[in-house]
């Protein structure tokens, strides 16, 4: 517990991240915000790949990458080359003092480093380990490479996205990775709950492609239930009609017949009594009479703005919405009321926009600290945590196993 602050849920929990990119760090970022001490072991040459992904806030292409900043708030960074025997030995010393390890290594690399399931369970029996890899640590594809694009494809999500007759699409934000990182967070906490009860660790093997495939509840149900194989439908939807976006005066409005019993309200608010006729009374009949329905609906939509349609629909109990871009999401009055988007003071960049966690816990004010500079805490790790003497540390630096920095840099 930090003096003067209320206790955070994960105070006293030590987490090590041997992971990078999106899924693993997304998990670790939540732990850091909730009080855990999160150590990223980053390679001295460049560190976490998201540092180099961009877009960049300024011309510092190591410290100012937007995905890096968002995903790694509140963590510590030690620049350790764990692809060396000496670096791996340091990591192992740290693991002996750790509660949680989030790790992304292929099966072969993990085995070679004795960071696979058998070795970790044997060597660190109380450690809660969450492995996050594209395909998992077992099976014929365990050493396959993956990135968001291919994970979205392999999981079944891409096939359903885009227009029929055109190529399938990824979505514009890395949802396979965000879903997997979120599943990892929940699974890790479950391991900590068990550890409090029966004093054992856990090894969770999470495949990003499997978390993605697990989102296909409806599509699997359609297929096993009645043999209907879901295809991409563009703006149409298996769940009803209308149930998508339509052009309106100033953009795109999300118009849906939902809740289903509220559809007749659309006739009222549009002033188009025909919309309440029997031929439009059920999801199936609206689908069957789609052209007729659109003949009434589309011209009306083109006479109104998105926000107006949103408010009109909601006031009638219809779950309408509209397409918003980044600027509009930043200005969302609901998210503003939640204080969701905010700002973090970065030691080098100054104030950097940021966002709160995807959930709130009553009585908990998440800890908001900036992401670390690469290797910012190498010294602290070696001296304070691992208790190494200066001669040993210099030796490690000279053999390029670790890198310390002073305030000016390396």
Partner 1 sequence: MVKTTTIPTSEARTTAPLPLAGVRVVDLTRAWAGPSCTAFLGELGADVIKVEAPEGESLRGGLRSAARGETPRPFNASATFNIINRNKRGMAVDLSAPEGREVMLRLVAESDCVVENFRPGVIERLGLGFESLREVNPRIVLASNGGYGHAGPYAGYRGYGVAIEPMSGLFSVTGYEGDRPQRSGVDHPDPQAGLSMATALLIAIFVARRTGRGRHVKTSLLRAMAACFAPRVIEHLALGTAPTRHGNESDRLFPHGVYRCAGEDQWVALAVVDDGQWDALCEIVGRPDLARDERMRTAEGRRAQRNLVDEAITAWTAIRPKREAEAALQQRGVTAAAVQSVADLLADEQLESRQFFRTIDHADWGAHAHIGSRVQLDGKRPPVRPAPMFAEHTDEILGGLLDLPPEEIDRLDERHIVPREPWRAER
For residues 402 and 78, the answer to whether their CB atoms sit within 8 Å is yes
The interface with partner 1 within residues 56-115 (CB under 8 A) comprises: 57, 66-67, 69-71, 96-97, 99
Work out whether 168 is an interface residue with partner 1 (CB under 8 A).
Answer: yes
Give me the least distance between CB of 183 and partner 1, in Å please.
5
Query: Applying CB under 8 A, does 23 fall inside the site for partner 1?
Result: no
220 binds partner 1 (CB under 8 A): yes
Q: Which is nearer to partner 1, 7 or 273 (CB)?
A: 7
Helix (H, G, I), strand (E, B) or coil at 250: coil
Give the residue, chosen from 283, 330, 380, 386, that forms a contact with partner 1 under the rule CB under 8 A. 330
- Round to whole Å and give the CA distance between 398 and 131: 32
CB-nearer residue toward partner 1: 134 or 372: 134
Question: Closest CB to partner 1 among 219 and 376?
Answer: 219
Q: Give the residue among 101, 29, 18 at the shortest CA–CA distance from 67.
A: 29
Does residue number 281 form part of the binding site for partner 1 (CB under 8 A)? Answer: no
Out of 5, 45, 46, 139, the residue judged to bind partner 1 by CB under 8 A: 139
Q: If you ran DSSP here, which 8-state letter would residue 384 be given?
A: I
Q: Of 194 and 367, which has the nearer Cβ to partner 1?
A: 194
In order of 115, 124, 130, 134, 137, the CA distances from 118 in angstroms are 8, 10, 14, 20, 12
Which residues from 344-373 bind partner 1, rule CB under 8 A? 352-364
235 vs 399 by CB, closer to partner 1: 235
Closest by CA to 309, choosing from 264, 262, 266, is: 266
DSSP state of 381: I
Looking only at the bridges linking them, the beta strands covering 128-133 and 100-103 are: parallel
**Token pair 């289903």 is at which residue?**
260
Quote the least distance from Cβ 218 to partner 1, whole Å: 6
Residues 192-211 close enough to bind partner 1 by CB under 8 A: 192-207, 209-211
Contact 144, 218 (CB under 8 A): no
Choice from 5, 6, 218, 279 touching partner 1 (CB under 8 A)? 218
């Amino acid at each position: 517990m930090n003096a003067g602050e209320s206790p955070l849920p994960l105070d006293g929990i030590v987490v090590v991240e041997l992971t990078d990119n999106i899924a693993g760090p997304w998990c670790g970022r939540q732990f850091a915000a909730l009080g855990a001490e999160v150590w990223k072991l980053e390679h001295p040459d460049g560190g976490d790949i998201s540092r180099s992904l961009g877009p960049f806030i300024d011309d510092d292409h190591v410290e100012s990458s937007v995905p890096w900043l968002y995903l790694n708030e509140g963590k510590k960074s030690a620049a350790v080359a764990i692809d060396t025997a000496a670096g791996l030995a340091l990591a192992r010393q740290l693991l002996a003092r750790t509660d949680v390890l989030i790790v992304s290594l292929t099966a072969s690399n993990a085995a070679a480093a004795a960071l696979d399931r058998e070795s970790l369970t044997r060597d660190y029996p109380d450690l809660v380990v969450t492995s996050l890899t594209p395909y998992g640590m077992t099976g014929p594809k365990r050493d396959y490479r993956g990135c968001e694009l291919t994970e979205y494809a392999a999981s079944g999500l891409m096939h359903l996205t885009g227009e029929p007759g055109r190529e399938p699409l990824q979505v514009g934000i890395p949802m396979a990775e965000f879903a997997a990182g979120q599943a990892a967070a929940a699974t890790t906490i479950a391991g900590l709950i068990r550890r409090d009860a029966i004093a054992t660790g856990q090894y969770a093997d999470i495949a990003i492609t499997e978390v993605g495939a697990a989102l296909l509840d409806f599509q699997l149900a359609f297929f096993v239930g009645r043999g209907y194989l879901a295809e991409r439908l563009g703006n149409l939807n298996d769940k009803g009609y209308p149930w998508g976006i339509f052009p309106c005066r100033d953009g795109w409005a999300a118009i849906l017949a939902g809740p289903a019993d509220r559809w007749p309200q659309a006739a009222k608010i549009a002033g188009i009594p025909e919309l309440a006729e029997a031929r439009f009374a059920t999801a199936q009949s609206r689908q069957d009479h789609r052209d007729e329905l659109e003949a009434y609906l589309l011209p009306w939509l083109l006479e109104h703005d998105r926000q107006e349609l949103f408010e009109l629909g909601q006031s009638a109990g219809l779950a309408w919405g509209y397409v918003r871009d980044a600027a509009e999401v930043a200005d969302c009055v609901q998210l503003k009321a939640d204080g969701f988007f905010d700002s973090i003071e970065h030691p080098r960049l100054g104030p950097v926009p940021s966002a709160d966690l995807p959930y709130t816990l009553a009585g908990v004010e998440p800890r908001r600290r900036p992401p670390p500079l690469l290797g910012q805490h190498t010294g602290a790790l070696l001296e304070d945590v691992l208790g190494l003497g200066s001669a040993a540390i210099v030796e490690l630096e000279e053999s390029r196993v670790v890198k310390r920095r002073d305030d000016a840099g390396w």
